[in-house]
Structure 1
Amino acid sequence: MAVGVFVNWRGKTINKEVHGGVRAAWFLYVLTVVTNVVIVPNVLNMVTYLHGTMHMGVSGSVTTAANFFGATSRFAMIGAFLSDSYITRAKTMLLIGPFMFLGYGLLALQAYLPSLHPPPCNIEAEPNNCKEVQGKNAALLYVGLYLSAFGDGCIRSCLPSLGADQFDHEDPKESRQQSSFFNWYTFGISFGGFVGLILIVWLQDYKGWDIALGLCAVIVLLGLLVVAAGLPFYRNQVPQGSPLTRILQVVLVVAFRNRKIEVGEGLEEAHESSTEVGTGYNGSLSQTNSLKFLDKACINRGEKGDWLVCSVTKVEETKIVLRMLPIFISSVIGYISSIILFTFTVQQGGLTNTRLGKIHVSPATLSVIPITFQMLMLAVYDQFIVPFLRRRTGYRGGITHLQRIGIGFASMILACVIAAVVEKKMKRAEVQMSLFFLLGVSDVTSFTGLLEFFNSEAPRGMKSIATALFWCDLGLASLMATFLVDAVNRAQGMVTR
């Protein structure tokens, strides 16, 4: 770790004995858990709220819920850009995170005050007599939803990267702890979702949405206070300036100024003679032999300026981003099936008997089953499988990121096959359990593997943006899953007719 790259919350050089490590990561684990206690049940149960309380149509409720999830992914890019370019990740979370608290506070207020939501009625029994939310009340609903999405998206893009910053990848012990951090970060997401799907969904069903949403706002506030308490212990990476500007400089120089020039020798000399200093941190990226056409941006024609000649480090940053794009695109396609399977878990729960004695289990709570499998497998994977594989392969994570991602998507193929069998033979409960098991395998491997891949492969000045790419993966996959389900339904309707 280049110590000069990291500072404490006062902007002074860090002390590795005081700053970072597992102690600092614990504050981030807490925020991970509490944000997912809030977001997971609300995402899965949002259609119920919009349709049953706000009296939106089914299609409008589904569209609004999908847009909310997509907005969270898009807002992640804003938080990532700010934290990589101008302010530290911890400050970004503490400055923008309160918008999540404010959003849920507004939603709770709207659910509590009768004047801010439609009068109660049974929309299933008498849909024509139910008044849909509109006007100022509809505006308040959307403001609350998107404020919470803005805060949550920015937290999601910064938190994993800030956690990884607490461990020095050049130190053997801390390098292993960094890999383990992503496993336990994923565990925190699952555990938070587990608690939320039991506690928050129960409150929504039996105590009212106003109490449930109000508690969500309080939980978010407590999580932010815990992160603020950890400020004296964090290693904060110094922002490196806009990474998008650096990439644009490389592309424009190659595309226009030097497009007719052949790549020659002396690129390293061009880098050393450039007046700019790469990305602003100690050390630079070495020249590689891939994507050689981008090396044209390094050719010095005797002129100075960031938009006239680029350093080797800038060019290599651009190459890294381009090399990650195939993984980004393929993982979007891979996650479509995962989102459909989790969605249909809730949908099928609504068509089955979900009573346990006198207790009625909400269909959204059925997602606890794959989440439980995921938590158990994450603990086993981190404590037993990784050490075993590490001894065999010598790799800190046991297997490479791409191998882990591949295993996850392979298990997703099997899960889809089993899901098709379940649709045909609904009474075979043991098949359903196999599906949940494979969903757990997929998330333990592909989810954590992708998150760690984007973070480890990204240049130092683009860690948060790389993490945001991961969340954009899920957002795009959700959008494509919606299109796919709609296309299948249309095709099935045509065949039926």
Structure 2
Amino acid sequence: MGMVAQEEEGAAATHQWGKSAHHWLGDSHHCSTVEQATGEERTPRHSTMDADGNGGGHCWLGYIVLALQAYTPSLHPPPCNPAATTAAASTTCEPVRGANLSLLLLGLYLVPIGDGAMKACLPALGGDQFDPADPDEQRQEVSFYNWYTFAASTGGFVGLVFIVWVENSKGWGVGFAICAAFVLLGLLVWAAAFPLYRNRLPTGSPITRILQVFVAAFRKRNVRLPEDPSELKQINQDDDNNALEVLPRTDGFGCLEKAAVRTGNDAGAWSLCSVNQVEETKILLRMAPIFAAAVLGYIPMPLILTFTVQQGSTMNTKLGSVHISPATLFLIPIIFQLVILILYDRVIVPPLRRLTGYVGGVTHLQRIGVGFIATIMATAVAAVVEIRRKSAAHESSLADGTAGIPLSVFWLTPQFFLIGIFDVTSFVGLLEFFCSEVSMGMKSIGSSIFYCILGVSAWLGSLLIQVTNRVTRRGGKGNGGSGGWLDGANLNNGKLERFYVVLCIIEVVALLSYVFFARRYVYRNEQKVVTQGGTMCDTGNGADMI
């Protein structure tokens, strides 16, 4: 969607593109949560990604639908008036309607539905391949999440270079067909390695187990807890959930423990739950403050990326004799991310591991915090660069134009670099944190929670754009009043630098709230560190490790 919007210059107002992009982005990330909930983990994780399952099959079919619509003229809307100006054309072009619109939406949403299933399962299945009791495999698991992100970013790099070139030179139909071929090839490679995977046995839906705890606890809200915790219902290793990790009872959330109190009126799983179910629910509740702070901290990032690319499209995008298209600007943060990931995993982590003793060099929460600091710096730098860009536009009498400002696009390099640092630290750190802190029976929901953060923050970002324009609009749009900070397609007439300041303030609040909750978070597992002799030792699970 980003490639479509960035290649169609002047097609929509700045805030309209921002809202549409973040609505679709939010929907795509939330699909991972929906897929995990509906899949109910009653089958092994890899089956949801098979061509006949929810993941790869839906993704492949979505690209096929998009390719057919792009290739078939009868499915296109009528052409615009070629004699009209760009502004007029945007109002006289007939949009796609009826069955053609339904087909377009079907393709657009089949792709994220399938992608969501893979997002929920891939990190979880990858984590299953490593034994946390083995020191060597524990180190390898730390690297896995770095290289998982590296692989995903490499795919984005190939798409922005190769697929964009194909779509511009050969047409959108060919581009979508190649995407479908890539998905099919990936499924074949995936299926070829089935015998090699360590695959966890299905344990039923973790969401269902959590809901059962809340329902049972509410029904027994007036029941008193026994003085002896051993009287609570324990997990039965002979039942259908014998593959569940046995969790020790912890203090706190006593109201939920009532779900495990035996009474004479218990009738089924919605009336009586095991201590294991209660502990799984406690794990998620303890992570909820980190989730909330991460959502707030993630709001600025997609907005910065979106508007930075729009800034770049108005600047001098020549690199020597080569002209860089607006869509290709997305490559810059990806390149930074790939380089920083390699340096972090191979150069930075080993000495940090020797210095701090932590397997990952730093704790998950420390790594996430570094990313939030980088975001604060990115928003501040972006505001300064935007002031410089608008100044160059006015000095060159190009304030009324939408391109050609004599200021190199490489002025955006610092904020792109900081975006790359954020991706390497907070993106990977949050994914690793949620996947490692949940129990073995909830690994998929751990990765789904992470992608839910991206989805919620994207929706909130879209809402923030609308609220900003309404609050800053004076006198009514079109009635002689001034537009909002982000109204219109011309960034030179807006107040994007002020919006960046708002994002910076939001990120500062997010960082402060995150530090507050992170310092009080107690890791579920004792943190393992590497001693000088190469053995592993426990440092305890106190909150002082952050």
Cα gap change, 1:260/1:69 in structure 2, threshold over 3 Å: closer, same or farther? same
Find 2:112's aligned residue among 139, 145, 149.
Answer: 149
Tell me which residue corresponds to 2:434: 454
Question: Is residue 481 from structure 1 mapped to residue 461 from structure 2 by the alignment?
Answer: yes
CA contact (8 A) 1:107 1:213 kept: yes
The alpha-carbon deviation at position 84 of structure 1 amounts to: 5.0
Q: Measure, in 2, the Cα distance between the counterparts of 1:261 and 1:275.
A: 26
Aligned to 2:72: 113
Residues 438 and 306 from structure 1, CA distance in 2 versus in 1: closer, same or farther, beyond 3 angstroms? Answer: same
Change (3 A) 1:314 1:276: farther
1:80 aligns with 2:36: yes
Give the 3 Å change call, closer, same or farther, for CA 117–151 of structure 1 in structure 2: same
CA distance in 1, matches of 2:65, 2:354: 52
Q: Which residue pairs with 1:68 in the alignment?
A: 24
Report whether the alignment pairs 1:44 with 2:2. Answer: yes
Q: Using the alignment, how far apart are the partners of 1:357 and 1:377 within structure 2?
A: 26
- 1:241 equivalent in structure 2: 204
Are the equivalent residues in 1 in contact too, given 2:203–2:240 (CA < 8 A)?
A: no
Change in 2 beyond 3 A, CA 1:415/1:63: closer
The answer to whether 1:266 aligns with 2:224 is no
State the aligned residue count: 452
Greater shift in the superposed pair: 451-460 or 73-82: 73-82
- Alignment deviations for residues 403-445 of structure 1 (CA, whole Å, 9 cap, x no partner): 1111111111111111111111135877532212211111100
Closer, same or farther: CA 90–157 of 1 in aligned 2, 3 Å: same
Q: Per the alignment, in what secondary structure is the counterpart of residue 236 of structure 1?
A: coil
2:315 aligns to what SS in structure 1? Answer: coil
Correspondence list, 1:136-215, <5 A: 136-215=99-178
Distance 1:182 1:411 in 2: 20
Scaled by the length of structure 1, the TM-score of the pair is 0.84
Compute the displacement of 1:466 (Å). Answer: 1.6
Q: CA deviation at 1:486?
A: 2.3
Q: Could you tell me which amino acid in structure 1 is paired with residue 63 of structure 2?
A: Y
Deviation for aligned residue 1:359:
4.1
Kindly tell me: are residues 170 and 302 of structure 1, through their superposed partners in 2, closer, same or farther at Cα, counting changes over 3 Å?
farther
Paired with 2:324 and 2:409, the residues of 1 have a C-alpha distance of 17
Residues 1:92 and 2:48 aligned together: yes
Higher mean alpha-carbon deviation, 61-70 vs 439-448, is at: 61-70
Question: For the pair shown, which has the larger CA radius of gyration, 1 or 2?
Answer: 2
Task: Give the one of 238, 243, 256 matched to 1:281.
Answer: 243
**Which residue is equivalent to 2:450?**
470
1:308-319 superposed matches below 5 A: 308-319=271-282
> Residue 308 of structure 2 contacts residue 412 of structure 2 at CA under 8 Å; is this kept in 1?
no
Q: What is aligned with 1:490?
A: 470
- Cα 1:103–1:274 change in 2 (3 A) is closer
The 1:119–1:247 alpha-carbon spacing in structure 2 relative to 1, beyond 3 Å, is same
Quote how far apart the aligned CAs of 1:364 are: 1.8
- 1:70 partner letter: G
Q: Percent identity among equivalent residues?
A: 46
Q: Is the 8 A contact 1:179 1:397 kept in 2?
A: yes
State how far apart, in whole Å, the 2-side matches of 1:477 and 1:89 are: 27
What residue is the counterpart of 2:253 in the other structure? 291
* Shift in alpha-carbon separation, 1:285–1:405, aligned structure 2, 3 A: same
Question: How many angstroms does 1:173 deviate by?
Answer: 0.8
Q: Which amino acid aligns with 1:201?
A: V
2:426 partner letter? S
Q: Evaluate the alpha carbon distance shift between residue 52 and residue 227 of structure 1 in structure 2; reply closer, same or farther with a 3 A threshold.
A: farther
Say which is worse superposed, 302-311 or 113-122, in terms of deviation. 302-311
SS in 1 for 2:182: helix
Query: What is the distance in 1 between the residues matched to 2:359 and 2:19?
Result: 42
* Worse overlay, 330-339 or 112-121: 112-121
Contact 1:274/1:309, CA 8 A, preserved across alignment: no
Query: Which range moves more in the overlay, 75-84 or 340-349?
Result: 75-84
Matched residue, 1:20: none
CA contact (8 A) 1:279 1:313 kept: no
Using the TM superposition, give the Cα deviation of residue 360 of structure 1 relative to its aligned residue in structure 2, in angstroms.
3.4
Kindly indicate whether the alpha-carbon contact (under 8 Å) linking 2:245 and 2:441 is maintained by their aligned counterparts in 1.
no
- Shift of the alpha carbon at 1:453? 0.6
The alignment partner of 1:205 has SS state of helix
| Compared CA separation, residues 273 and 182, structure 1 to 2 (3 A) | closer
Uncovered stretches (5+) of structure 2, i.e. residues with no partner: 390-406, 476-480, 483-546
CA contact (8 A) 1:68 1:149 kept: no
Residue of structure 2 in register with 1:433 after alignment: 413
More helix by share: 1
Q: Residue 397 of structure 1 corresponds to which residue in structure 2?
A: 360
Superposition RMSD on alpha carbons, in Å?
2.6
CA deviation after TM superposition for structure 1 residue 162, in Å: 0.8
Query: Shift in Å at residue 58 of structure 1?
Result: 8.1
SS of the counterpart of 2:216?
helix
- The alpha-carbon distance between structure 1 residues 170 and 135, as it changes in their structure 2 partners (threshold 3 A), is same
Question: Distance in 2 between the 1:262 and 1:276 partners?
Answer: 28
SS of the residue corresponding to residue 494 of structure 1 reads coil
> Cα offset for 1:355?
3.4
SS of corresponding position for 1:132: coil
1:252 and 2:215 matched: yes
The residue type paired with residue 280 of structure 2 is E
After superposition, the Cα gap between the structure-2 partners of 1:432 and 1:52, relative to the gap in structure 1 and judged at 3 Å, is closer
Specify whether residues 197 and 254 from structure 1 end up closer, same or farther in structure 2 by C-alpha distance, changes over 3 A only. same
- Closer/same/farther in 2, CA of residues 52 and 229 from structure 1, 3 Å limit: farther
Question: Is residue 333–residue 419 contact of structure 2 (8 Å, CA) maintained in 1?
Answer: yes
Distance 1:471 1:483 in 2: 19
Residue 364 to residue 430, structure 1, CA distance change in 2 (3 Å)? closer
Match of 1:19 in 2: none
Trace 1:320-339 onto structure 2 (pairs within 5 A): 320-339=283-302
Q: Structure 1 counterpart of 2:149, which letter?
A: T
Unaligned runs of 5+ in 1: 1-42
Structure 2 CA distance for aligned equivalents of residues 429 and 135 of structure 1: 41
Once residues 411 and 425 of structure 2 are traced to their aligned partners in structure 1, the CA distance between those partners, rounded to angstroms, is 21
Aligned twin of 1:375? 338
Residue identity in the other structure for 1:484: L
Q: Which AA in structure 2 matches 1:269? A: E
Instruction: Give how far 1:46 is off.
Output: 3.3
